[in-house]
Chains A and B, each alone.
Chain A
Amino acid sequence: MSEARTAPLALGPRARLLGRLATVLWRARGQHRLLLFLPLGLFLVTFCLIPAILLFRISLADNPGGSGYGEGTLFYRAGTWTVGNYVRFFTDDYFTQVAIFTLELGVATAVLTTALAYLIAYRIYRAGALKKSALLMVVIFPKFTNPLVLMYGFLLVFGANGLINKVLLASGLISAPVPMVYNLFSVLLGEMVLVLPYCVLSIAAVLHTIDGSLREAAAGLGATPMRTFREVTLPLSLQGVWVSILLSFIWGIGAFASPYVLGNPELYTLAIEVERQANHRLNWAMAAAVAFVLIGMILVPVLAFIRVQRDRPVEQPS
């Protein structure tokens, strides 16, 4: 009997920690807003922040050396401290070239995607109700499809044995398949398709906040449609354009599926390098270092964007 009574106490430090947590929760019960955020806060700290810290720690560890195969769990040397991985990244021509290409791909994706997204967003903005819903569906559908499935479809359409080449060969226009995939062109198009939906939505959302009477006023004052667009609509929608550029740059710089499936080893990005270091070379220390260089490359434009945005007022519920 006495054993049953002491059992809970015997649970030790973990139970005491839980008890303390319960006390903290009980004291905070008047603070509804904190309680409501608590589960999400705990989740994000545990599964996003702590892994990030752990990853940074791994990036500062010595790499395992050797092939790593057959040694099981030796993906980095625990307990060692070195900046060697970062030094290697910035002194090795291979890594710097991959980094420069990744940056270029991010910029090219941002420019191409935002330009095309604007065209489609404007079309959605000016469309009637039914057409608007239909166009939105076409844009949203790929966003929810598997990126891998999209890239596979690309191969089926543009590949050497793909739809287009078969049609062209059958029609006699060409005598040998035109290479349309495994090059920069296909990587860029693939990445564009993966990123486009978000950009269209962010530009279309801003376009829809523009007061239509402004356009009518400009037309009434004698402005041509082109001039109305240039001097009224475009300046008022710039906010959406910046969001689109930022989003497409972030996702373009993190490109993985498109260059892997539609590219060749010369078109590999930092994200692919992370995966190759981790899963093929079993060098987690280097993979972690590459990951943090990638985070740094994303952080610079994001911080610049936040600085610009800081002056805008924040909406609060009334």
Chain B
Amino acid sequence: MIARLGAAAITTLSWLTLGLLLIPLVTSLLVSLTPSEFITLPTGRISFRWYQQFFGERTWNAALTTTLLVAALTVAISFPLGLLAATAFTRYHLRWRAATHMAIMLPLFVPSVILGIGSLSFHRAIGLWGTPLSLAVAHSLWAVPLVFVVLKSTLAGVDRSVEEAAAGLGANPLRVFWEVTAPLIAPGVFVAVLFAFLISVNEFVMSLFLSTPRMRTLSVAIWPQIQYLLTPIVAAASSVMIVITLLILGVTVKLVNVRRLIEYR
């Protein structure tokens, strides 16, 4: 009896926790569709007026453009760096293996506020501050470890004997990579690119430090309004980010089995 009650309590607790992960996001999506001036759930009918306002106003538009531009730059920086390092990591015997791994992963464990103020003082000193590249470089500090981890596990799954066979048949290393390795790692490459993109779109604290009034991301544009809960426009802005995230994760799930995240490391 007590054991069954305990089991029921544990089940309820885990569902409550899972609910806590999803309900805030679902609520944002619903509130953004309200026809009302105030923050309420839509009752009866839905309206896209807050989206019209979001896509109609120049400040929100500029923020959305900056967000997407910075995310694209983040991919362009972090993907090649992560790919080269992951290749070296899976192909060669390294003396300082554990230390190298830790050094690459380290930025992920530094509070973003510290990366933010550190980047701000350095970027100001070298004149990078105020450009989209400045934000992309900072976001790459988090995107690189993620790209590295995804590509490392993808490359580790490639059967070396296939590459060796191609080389044995006379293909040069570049051709081996392009015609044998690249198709094999393509899904992992796509996931790495999408993750880097998502990290950048949704990063907030570093962006808060590095943004300027003329160049700010969506998160930074939301920030001053969030505590006052004035109109559902913030819900619409949030929902735009949620939808971008959902779309990208949806593509990811189509490409790779999510279970691989925990089952092969």
State the A residues within 8 Å of B (CB).
Answer: 32-33, 36-37, 39-40, 43-44, 47-48, 50-52, 54-55, 58, 116, 119-120, 123-124, 129, 132-133, 135-142, 144-157, 159, 161, 163, 189, 192-193, 196-197, 201, 204-205, 208, 226, 247, 250-251, 253-254, 256-257, 261, 271-272, 274-275, 278-279, 284, 287-288, 291, 294-295, 298, 302, 306, 314, 316-317
Interface of A is mostly: helix
A123 & B14 in contact (Cβ 8 Å cutoff): yes
Shortest distance between the CB of A118 and any CB in chain B (Å): 9
Q: Mark B181-197, 1 if CB is under 8 A from A, else 0.
A: 00000000000000100
A208 & B263 in contact (Cβ 8 Å cutoff): yes
| CB within 8 Å for A144 and B198 given contacts A54-B118, A116-B13 | yes
Shortest distance between the CB of A96 and any CB in chain B (Å): 19
The interface size of chain B toward A, counting residues with CB under 8 Å, comes to 93
Cα A153 to Cα B100 with chains together (Å): 39
Interface of B is mostly: helix
A316 & B97 in contact (Cβ 8 Å cutoff): yes
Is B60 located at the chain interface by the 8 A CB criterion?
no
A116 & B85 in contact (Cβ 8 Å cutoff): no
In the bound complex, residues from chain B placing their C-beta under 8 Å from that of A47 are 119, 122, 137-138, 140-141
Cα A316 to Cα B102 with chains together (Å): 15
Cα A159 to Cα B230 with chains together (Å): 13
Partner of B103, one of A44, A247, A271: A44
Interface residue ranges of B219-243 to A (CB < 8 Å):
219, 222-223, 226-227, 229, 234-235, 238, 241-242
Shortest distance between the CB of A101 and any CB in chain B (Å): 15
B229 & A161 in contact (Cβ 8 Å cutoff): yes
In the bound complex, residues from chain B placing their C-beta under 8 Å from that of A288 are 117, 121
Residue of A nearest to B16 (CB): A116
A314 & B97 in contact (Cβ 8 Å cutoff): yes
B253 & A137 in contact (Cβ 8 Å cutoff): yes
Partner of B18, one of A135, A145, A155: A135
Is B42 located at the chain interface by the 8 A CB criterion?
no
Shortest distance between the CB of A289 and any CB in chain B (Å): 11
Cα A144 to Cα B261 with chains together (Å): 14
Cα A159 to Cα B56 with chains together (Å): 29
In the bound complex, residues from chain A placing their C-beta under 8 Å from that of B226 are 148, 151-152, 155, 261
Cα A235 to Cα B60 with chains together (Å): 52
B24 & A157 in contact (Cβ 8 Å cutoff): yes
| CB within 8 Å for A274 and B117 given contacts A146-B204, A148-B226, A156-B31 | yes
Partner of B109, one of A226, A250, A279, A291: A250
Shortest distance between the CB of A306 and any CB in chain B (Å): 8
B20 & A37 in contact (Cβ 8 Å cutoff): no
Shortest distance between the CB of B101 and any CB in chain A (Å): 9
17 new A-B contacts, CB < 8 A, other than A149-B238, A193-B21, A298-B109, are A33-B92, A36-B84, A44-B107, A54-B118, A54-B122, A55-B114, A136-B259, A141-B245, A146-B219, A153-B27, A157-B23, A254-B111, A254-B114, A279-B209, A287-B117, A291-B117, A291-B118
Q: Mark B239-265, 1 if CB is under 8 A from A, else 0.
A: 001100110110001000111011101
Contacts A/B (CB < 8 Å), 30 sampled? A36-B85, A37-B88, A37-B100, A40-B81, A43-B140, A48-B107, A48-B115, A52-B118, A119-B10, A123-B14, A133-B257, A140-B261, A144-B199, A144-B245, A144-B248, A148-B204, A149-B219, A152-B226, A155-B229, A156-B229, A193-B20, A201-B261, A205-B263, A256-B205, A257-B205, A271-B111, A271-B113, A278-B117, A284-B117, A295-B114
| CB within 8 Å for A58 and B258 given contacts A47-B137, A189-B20 | no
In the bound complex, residues from chain A placing their C-beta under 8 Å from that of B114 are 55, 254, 271, 274, 291, 294-295
Residue of B nearest to A194 (CB): B21
Cα A257 to Cα B222 with chains together (Å): 13
B122 & A161 in contact (Cβ 8 Å cutoff): no
Cα A207 to Cα B195 with chains together (Å): 25
B261 & A136 in contact (Cβ 8 Å cutoff): yes
Residue of B nearest to A198 (CB): B108
In the bound complex, residues from chain B placing their C-beta under 8 Å from that of A287 are 117
Interface residue ranges of B51-95 to A (CB < 8 Å):
77, 80-82, 84-85, 87-88, 90-94
Cα A129 to Cα B97 with chains together (Å): 34
Cα A251 to Cα B46 with chains together (Å): 38
Cα A43 to Cα B144 with chains together (Å): 10
Q: In this complex, which of B87, B106, B242 has the most chain A Cβ atoms within 10 angstroms of its Cβ?
A: B242
Shortest distance between the CB of A230 and any CB in chain B (Å): 13
Q: Mark B20-51, 1 if CB is under 8 A from A, else 0.
A: 11111111100100000001010000000000
Partner of B39, one of A54, A161, A256: A161
Partner of B111, one of A163, A204, A256: A256
B208 & A145 in contact (Cβ 8 Å cutoff): no
| CB within 8 Å for A133 and B259 given contacts A144-B245, A279-B209, A294-B111 | yes
Q: Mark B122-148, 1 if CB is under 8 A from A, else 0.
A: 100100000000000110110010001
| CB within 8 Å for A133 and B258 given contacts A43-B144, A116-B13 | yes
Partner of B258, one of A136, A156, A261: A136
In the bound complex, residues from chain B placing their C-beta under 8 Å from that of A226 are 3
Is B98 located at the chain interface by the 8 A CB criterion?
yes
